[in-house]
Amino acid sequence: MDIARTPSTPDGNPEMADAAHEIASPVEVRREDYRPFPWAVPQVALDFTLGLEETQVTARLDVRRNPAAEASPVLRLNGDGITPLWVKVDSAETTGWVMDGPDLLLTLPGEAHSVEVATAIAPAANTQLMGLYASNGMLCTQCEAEGFRRITFFPDRPDVLSTYTVRMSGDAGAFPVLLSNGNLVSSGKGEGGTHWAEWHDPWPKPSYLFALVAGDLEARRDTFTTCSGRKVELAIFVRRGTGDLERTGHAMESLIRAMKWDEEVFGREYDLDVFNIVAVSDFNMGAMENKGLNIFNTRYVLADPETATDGDYDAVEGVIAHEYFHNWSGNRVTCRDWFQLSLKEGFTVLRDQLFSADMGSEAVKRIEDVRVLRGVQFPEDSGPLAHPIRPDAYREISNFYTATVYNKGAEVIRMMRVLAGPERFRKGCDLYFARHDGEAATCEDFIRAMEEGAGLDLTQFRLWYSQAGTPRVTIRMAHDGDKVALHLSQNVPATPGQPDKQPMPIPLKVALFDPQTGAHRGEQLLVLDKAEDSFIYQGYASRPVLSVNRGFTAPVAIAQDVPTSDLVFLAAHDDDPFARYEAMQELVVTHLKEAVSGSLSDEQRDEGRAAIAGALRAVLADERLDDLMRGELLILPSHAYLSEQMLVADPGAIHGERQALRADLARALEGEFVALHERASAVPYSLSPQARGARKVKTQALIYLAEGNPALAEKMAAAQYRAADNMTDRQGALMVLAGLQGPERTHALIDFYNRYRGNALVVDKWFSLQAGSLHPQVLDHVKALAEHPDFTLTNPNRVRALYMAMAVNPAAFHDASGEGYRMVADLILQLDPLNPQTAARFVAPLGRWRRIEPQRANLMRAALERIAAAPSLSRDTHEQVIRSLG
């Protein structure tokens, strides 16, 4: 699946707050308590009589004693918000069952039985969008992590693997298309205008991979011939009559490329006769890898030049590939329990990252991935929600679909690839798939396969799975005679529940540059596996310039005292694209940290800005750079990343200094930025790297000019908006105009809405651009947009478009009045009864209060305490709030 202190009541009584939440708070689940389920369920047959208001479900489970488990006559079938209509054992109706909370318990003698349970569910009333729910007249499912228990009673855990046969019937007019996992076995007409279809999935799978879709759909179809010569029928379904079908071409092309790439790079062949994707507009996540029937958020399927940006095209390609790659890393080999979530998600994120790098610019993709890691996962690692990529305990599993599990999990497996090299890494993966095909595996199983297949000793490396926190590596370089010594030390900071950490193996690629020639003697891999270590290099008569963590070989923070001249040199000359980008980022970070601290004199401030301007001028003039890479080098470090560099962050000061630097750079380089924009504007639209790069630098030029010369930027952005023949240029121009106060802003926003008012995904952009803008009245705009007729709390995309854009906008969220915090808290309280999963994801920004200056920290904490004091919070939100308060 694609993707982060004690509360008190108003009278200050924490015990009362705890008592109020006693029912809502679930029991802690611990990894060490895992036991195999006492019953195997080798076969499941499901019969659905479909309806939007009511769907009846009959489940027949063939159960038998699990020889690998401790024997028990009790069969526990998980449920959530459902009631059995009747229960049968071995075809005879029985009353010999009891309810234990939401679960159904049966006591079964003997070794094997057939158990049948009938339930009735209400899809149209399911605002949680978990289990079976209605979306724009269609029925669809989302079962990961624990949604299947909202459909029928079942041992809803990932280590119970079953083959599924699914029969569904419904009104042929309302549901002309009936889809489920696996292959279509048969279909036909029923009575009274109904019809039916039967699907069978021959591959054992856990219940979280079950899927059903029924609705009035149309499909783009194609075929793929696998490496062994099997023909696979491909289809991407959308709602009929929406005009969405014509926007599925890129998704289909991405799917075919992913299938071919997975065969060539990982040796993985598809294993069913069909592969179906369905686009759904109401969806909590990005997409879901259900076996043979992937269900997607429409934003990761639909793309054409008029409605999708270049970033949207990349996201569609990456998510299509991610969910397809799950067919092996998640489906054929699944998770033993949810503590092993990174086994499938971290591994699959790495696979989709490697795929996207091969499909486009490897250098730019690496930079983009690291930017996400630093902007989302590093703050998670340093806050109250920090956890290892393989947690030891959880209360609500949906709260562990985090950047740590996904993005850091990918980086940990990438480090194995760095240590082994691509060929040996492939051998380890082959062994893992061969050994555990058809099983529910663990992270330890993957590590052992990598040790044996790739020939690695990962004994100490296992600490990456059990320790939370971002390691900090301190580097000191000493030059003496012709000898260079690199003195390295590491520290893994304390995190909740883990005050003391052990050193972990950290692979770092380094190069030592001769500043006179601009050359180095080759890249070397060193591994820091102690608290402190030194590495000696001979033959350097003059002091070299160190390039470290090239390619970002380890997810760590580097601390070193680097002269400004070295950073300027690396920003201009480093032959590793990531290291060059990193030098530019560090040049800016170092300056802004000192500026925010107030330690710079006016002369030092001017010198620092002049050095950055010189480095940017070199980037703008370097004809060896392509524009995709140039665009990355122009992007300033994010507010979130800058905040992570400070023990206590002042959001107002950081934002002010960052914008002041951008304005100063814009004034110093105004002519260059105008020339860059003019050159890029002459490149005609296409999806070629050259054209994409031109659009990227065009928008970056406008972003700078908007700070240094707003009147000029407004004129240029308005002209770009009117001339745009694609969404990338139009959205880039509107983003800049949305932050300005001139008349062109209003004209463009009205035009954009009227032009796209029938397209939900583009209207989402309209909401986001305003909520994420630098306009001084942005909070008032957000309040007004929340009252707009097109805003709704029932669609997660629309909620995220408005409020998450505001929550990651430092000028809005961290407004000194605390209004941004209050608005997010209000949203959480409104949204939680409707959709707890989506509501809980808004808690994390408030939870970073410990790293914020005292005035704002008190306001953030007060917002969390107000949420905590509310009655009947969901388990999802309650856990996030309590952990955030500490």
Mean pLDDT, the chain, integer? 96
DSSP 233-246: EEEEEEETTSS-GG
The answer to whether the 364-435+442-466 and 472-559 domains have the same CATH topology is: no
Residue range 623-642: mean pLDDT, rounded: 97
Rg, C-alpha atoms of the chain: 28
- Does pLDDT of 633 surpass 60? yes
pLDDT at 3: 72
Crossing angle of helices 670-681 and 651-668, rounded to 10°: 80
**775/764 Cα distance (integer angstroms):** 18
CATH of region 364-435+442-466, choose from 1.10.10.10, 3.30.300.30, 3.40.50.300, 1.10.390.10: 1.10.390.10
**400/727 Cα distance (integer angstroms):** 34
Q: Which two tokens stand for residue 770?
A: 């305003």
**622/614 Cα distance (integer angstroms):** 12
Among left, alpha and beta (phi > 0; psi -120 to 50; other), residue 217 is beta
- Does pLDDT of 24 surpass 50? no
Residue range 565-571: mean pLDDT, rounded: 95
**770/155 Cα distance (integer angstroms):** 46
Residue range 790-796: mean pLDDT, rounded: 98
CATH superfamily of the 41-325 domain: tricorn interacting facor f3 domain (2.60.40.1730)
Query: Quick count: other Cβ atoms within 10 Å of Cβ 194?
Result: 17
pTM: 0.96
**What HEC string does 758-775 produce?**
CCHHHHHHHHHHHHCCCC
pLDDT at 18: 32
The one-letter code for the residue type at 173 is G
Q: Which residue has the higher pLDDT, 575 or 5?
A: 575
Tell which residue, 14, 49, 313, 6, has the closest CA to residue 168. 49
Which run of H or of E encompasses 491?
strand 483-491
The DSSP bridge pattern shows strands 92-93 and 39-49 to be unpaired
Give the confidence band of 25 by pLDDT, cuts at 50, 70, 90: low
pLDDT single digits (tens) 502-561: 999 999 999 999 999 999 999 999 999 999 999 999 999 999 999 999 999 999 999 999
Residue range 247-273: mean pLDDT, rounded: 98
- Does pLDDT of 17 surpass 60? no
**Adjacency order of strands within the sheet including 287-288:** 217-225, 231-239, 274-280, 293-297, 287-288
Q: Which two tokens stand for residue 78?
A: 């998980």
**Adjacency order of strands within the sheet including 212-215:** 131-135, 138-142, 212-215, 177-180
The one-letter code for the residue type at 659 is Q
Give φ, ψ of 393 to 5 degrees: -160, 155
Distance in angstroms between the alpha carbons of the first and the last residue of the chain: 29
22 is catalytic: no
Which SS3 state, helix, strand or coil, does residue 682 take?
Answer: coil
**262/358 Cα distance (integer angstroms):** 12
**552/372 Cα distance (integer angstroms):** 13
pLDDT at 602: 95
Marked catalytic residue, from 198, 218, 323, 380: 323
Tell which residue, 309, 310, 319, has the closest CA to residue 361. 310
Residue range 374-389: mean pLDDT, rounded: 97
Crossing angle of helices 710-723 and 689-708, rounded to 10°: 150
Q: Which two tokens stand for residue 407?
A: 């993005």
**Is the Cβ–Cβ distance between 117 and 96 less than 8 Å?**
no
Which fold is adopted by the domain 472-559?
Immunoglobulin-like (2.60.40)
**Is the Cβ–Cβ distance between 182 and 45 less than 8 Å?**
no
How many CA within 13 A on the CB side of residue 217? 23
**40/63 Cα distance (integer angstroms):** 6
Based on the number of CB atoms within 10 Å of its own CB, is 288 exposed (0-12), middle (13-18) or buried (19 or more)?
buried
Residue range 634-641: mean pLDDT, rounded: 97
Handedness of CA 612, 617, 618, 619 (dihedral sign): positive
**Is the Cβ–Cβ distance between 84 and 153 less than 8 Å?**
yes
**What length does the chain have?**
886
pLDDT at 27: 87
**366/357 Cα distance (integer angstroms):** 8
**Is the Cβ–Cβ distance between 865 and 885 less than 8 Å?**
yes
- Does pLDDT of 126 surpass 70? yes
**696/214 Cα distance (integer angstroms):** 40
Domains of the chain by residue range: 41-325, 364-435+442-466, 472-559
Query: Quick count: other Cβ atoms within 10 Å of Cβ 264?
Result: 11
**513/322 Cα distance (integer angstroms):** 38
Tell which residue, 200, 246, 558, has the closest CA to residue 374. 558
- Does pLDDT of 20 surpass 50? no
DSSP 522-573: --EEEEE-SSEEEEEEE--SS--EEEESTT--SS-EEEE---HHHHHHHHHH
The one-letter code for the residue type at 798 is R
pLDDT at 201: 98
